[in-house]
Amino acid sequence: MSKILLITLLLASCLAAEYTKKVQLPSITFQMAEDDNFKAMQRNCQWCHSYGYILNQGKQSRKFWNKSVVKMREVYKAPITARDEKTVTDYLFKHYGNGELE
């Protein structure tokens, strides 16, 4: 009986615990290189996650970037056309590539 009373009191105390201070989350903008192919990036790569996911990979090979784009389509079902797959891969390799094709 006393256990039930204790649990009830504990649960009730949660109701009284209210956080009154205003919480402000930082807004981080990840700046990507802008060129003619950037539109394809905006069209395909910004509605599920921020560009931070891309920038945090560091400089990578063309194969790596192509595999990432294909993964987004095949695993996460992003509707990326074959044409945009190439444009986005070219864009990523041009600005965030390490010079290696493989």
- Tell me the three state secondary structure of residue 19: coil
Nearest-approach distance from CB 27 to ligand HEC, in angstroms? 20
Q: Which residues bind ligand HEC (CB under 6 A)?
A: 44-45, 47-49, 53-54, 57, 68-69, 71-72, 76-78, 80, 88
Q: What is the closest distance, in whole angstroms, from the C-beta atom of residue 90 to ligand HEC in the complex?
A: 12
Nearest of 95, 83, 38, 89 to residue 66 by alpha carbon: 89
Spatial separation of the C-alpha atoms in residues 49 and 78, rounded to whole Å: 12
Smallest distance from ligand HEC to CB 100, Å: 17
- By beta-carbon proximity to ligand HEC, the closer residue of 80 and 93 is 80
| Alpha helices (runs of H) in 1-101, residue ranges in sequence order | 2-16, 38-45, 52-55, 62-74, 82-96
Closer to ligand HEC by Cβ: residue 19 or 47 = 47
